[in-house]
């Protein structure tokens, strides 16, 4: 397929890996990388860990150096937001009023954080998605707040709580579910996650939501739905994300909890999507999914880029085994595969009591996931078995 140019909207991890993939596949046309932030592409996982802790400076977050960016020959449009796209006319509209004709288009606009109603303009209330978010929160933690309240016990919330606690701050976590991560890992493993935080001095409240965040211009307290009140100097809201697709309404692309793609990441003629914003059928798991993990952004960015260079007959489906990690205190939590709370779960090494274990998940006789607490070798080896499509019984019997 002879394309003259490819426009990537989203100067993210997925967007950068897409550009790199295009050059690796000898694409010598124009690559334009458009990003709404003023920053060159940077790594996000340290934003809730090393960077937030003050251990890393901004310079360590860069995904690549200026020399490499120059080598790729990218046309960088940073600090520029895409506001519309017309598939039939193949025209992209930017927030500076410019219309850009596109040949190939790769959408990697990611997602944004959900916010608690009424807190949007309140000082001391933060979300954590980008570098500017992390820098603002880091400054607030540097000031030594009396108490940090984290609303949402998911992975981002848990990492922020861990980082704040290791900085010596008093921390409370509010989770509406019976246990943190119960929808992802089930209540039994979720209880283990809660105990990890309690063991480090975090005040964990589960099974209760937030009624309101109060303060006269600045946060002062969090009121829970059961009537309890928690005094707060800093509140971090980690209650999930929303894919950034509003700018694509009326574009001619299908939008449904992300940009809907086929199994090869194609969203429309000459249009692909990758990363947090892409929703596609992963044939390996017979599931339509949208994955918000670092590794998926890397792999899908490269796959979606290559898809723009090949004809339909040569296109291959994108069938990864999703994988991610989370560092909390001295625990490295890793999950590979796609698990559900009702999957069959078996501990294959270690124990829940010592919070160092590997657990396998089976569904309909298949191995579909592995979870490890400080068991990286086991996670990677069982991940390979998931890729091979082994049965749950064979996985349990395997010498790993």
Tokens of 170: 């008093």
Q: What pLDDT is stored for residue 15 in this prediction?
A: 98
Q: Are 6 and 26 in contact (CB under 8 A)?
A: no
Angle, CA 186 vertex, CA 181 and CA 190 arms, to 5° = 50
pLDDT confidence tier of residue 240, bands split at 50, 70 and 90: very high
pLDDT confidence tier of residue 341, bands split at 50, 70 and 90: confident
Q: Which helix (H) or strand (E) holds 188?
A: helix 187-199
Helix (H, G, I), strand (E, B) or coil at 265: coil
Q: What pLDDT is stored for residue 375 in this prediction?
A: 96
Bridge pairing between strands 271-273 and 266-268: antiparallel
Q: What pLDDT is stored for residue 400 in this prediction?
A: 84
Tokens of 223: 């009121």
Percent of the chain with pLDDT over 90: 95
Q: Whose CA is closest to 304, among 107, 70, 43?
A: 107
Q: Are 95 and 109 in contact (CB under 8 A)?
A: no
What is the rounded average pLDDT of the residues 362-368? 97
**Gyration radius of the chain's alpha carbons:** 22
Note the pTM of the prediction, 2 decimals. 0.96
Bridge pairing between strands 148-151 and 234-237: parallel
Evaluate the CA torsion angle 165, 168, 169, 171 in order and state its sign.
positive
Side-chain-facing half-sphere of 310: CA atoms under 13 Å: 15
Distance CA 382, CA 385 (A): 5
Cα–Cα distances (Å) from 241 to 111, 193, 277, in that order, read: 6, 21, 10
Convert the pLDDT of each residue in 63-72 to its tens digit: 998 998 999 9
Q: What pLDDT is stored for residue 368 in this prediction?
A: 97
64-68, 152-156, 248-252, 365-369: least confident range: 64-68
Q: Which residues have a Cβ under 8 Å from the Cβ of 240 and sit 6 or more positions away?
A: 113, 114, 152, 154
List the chain domain ranges: 5-112+241-314, 115-237, 330-397
What is the rounded average pLDDT of the residues 1-28? 95
Distance CA 102, CA 77 (A): 14
Which CATH number applies to 115-237? Answer: 3.50.50.60
330-397 shares the fold of 115-237: no
pLDDT at 399 over 90: no
Q: Are 290 and 255 in contact (CB under 8 A)?
A: no
Q: Which superfamily, per CATH, for 5-112+241-314?
A: FAD/NAD(P)-binding domain (3.50.50.60)
Evaluate the CA torsion angle 192, 198, 200, 203 in order and state its sign.
positive
Residue spans of beta strands (DSSP E) within 220-322: 221-224, 229-231, 234-237, 241-243, 259-260, 266-268, 271-273, 278-282, 287-289
Classify the phi-psi angles of 386: left when phi > 0, otherwise alpha if psi is within -120 to 50, otherwise beta.
alpha
Percent of the chain with pLDDT over 70: 100
Distance CA 246, CA 388 (A): 38
Convert the pLDDT of each residue in 95-106 to its tens digit: 999 999 999 999
Give, in words, the CATH class of 330-397. alpha beta
Distance CA 241, CA 310 (A): 32
Tokens of 139: 């400054």
Residue 303 CB-density burial (10 A; 0-12 exposed, 13-18 middle, 19+ buried) = buried
Q: Which helix (H) or strand (E) holds 135?
A: helix 131-142
């Amino acid at each position: 397929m002879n394309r003259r140019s490819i426009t990537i909207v989203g100067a993210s991890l997925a967007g950068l890996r897409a550009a790199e993939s295009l050059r690796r596949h000898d694409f010598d046309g124009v690559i334009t990388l458009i990003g709404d932030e003023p920053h060159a592409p940077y790594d996000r996982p340290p934003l809730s860990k090393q960077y937030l802790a003050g251990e890393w400076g901004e310079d360590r977050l860069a995904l690549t150096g200026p020399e490499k960016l120059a080598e790729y020959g990218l046309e960088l449009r940073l600090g520029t937001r895409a506001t519309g796209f017309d598939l039939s006319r193949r025209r992209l509209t930017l927030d500076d009023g410019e219309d850009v004709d596109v040949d190939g288009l790769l959408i990697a606009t990611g997602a944004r954080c959900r916010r608690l109603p009424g807190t949007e303009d309140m000082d001391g209330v933060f979300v954590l998605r980008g570098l500017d978010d992390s820098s603002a929160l880091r400054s607030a933690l540097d000031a030594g707040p009396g108490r940090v309240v984290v609303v949402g016990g998911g992975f981002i919330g848990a990492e922020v709580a861990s980082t704040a606690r290791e900085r010596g701050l008093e921390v409370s976590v509010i989770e509406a579910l019976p246990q943190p991560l119960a929808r992802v890992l089930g209540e039994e493993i979720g209880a283990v996650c809660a105990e990890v935080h309690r063991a480090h001095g975090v005040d964990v409240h589960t099974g209760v939501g937030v009624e309101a965040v109060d303060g006269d211009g600045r946060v002062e307290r969090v009121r829970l739905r059961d009537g309890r009140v928690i005094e707060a100097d800093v509140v971090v809201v980690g209650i999930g994300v929303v894919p950034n697709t509003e700018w694509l309404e009326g574009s001619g692309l299908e939008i449904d909890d992300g940009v809907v793609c086929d199994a090869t990441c194609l969203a429309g003629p000459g249009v692909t999507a990758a990363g947090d914003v892409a929703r596609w059928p992963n044939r390996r798991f017979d599931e339509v999914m949208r994955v918000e993990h670092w590794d998926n952004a890397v792999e899908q960015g490269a796959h979606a880029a290559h898809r723009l260079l090949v004809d339909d007959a040569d296109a291959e489906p994108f069938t990864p085994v999703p994988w991610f990690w989370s560092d909390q205190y001295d625990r490295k939590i890793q999950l590979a595969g796609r698990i559900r709370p009702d999957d069959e779960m078996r501990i294959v090494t270690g124990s829940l009591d010592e919070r160092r274990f590997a657990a396998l998940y089976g569904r309909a006789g298949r191995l579909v996931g592995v979870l490890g607490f400080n068991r990286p070798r086991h996670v990677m080896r069982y991940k390979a078995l998931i890729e091979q499509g082994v049965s749950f019984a064979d996985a349990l019997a395997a010498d790993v």
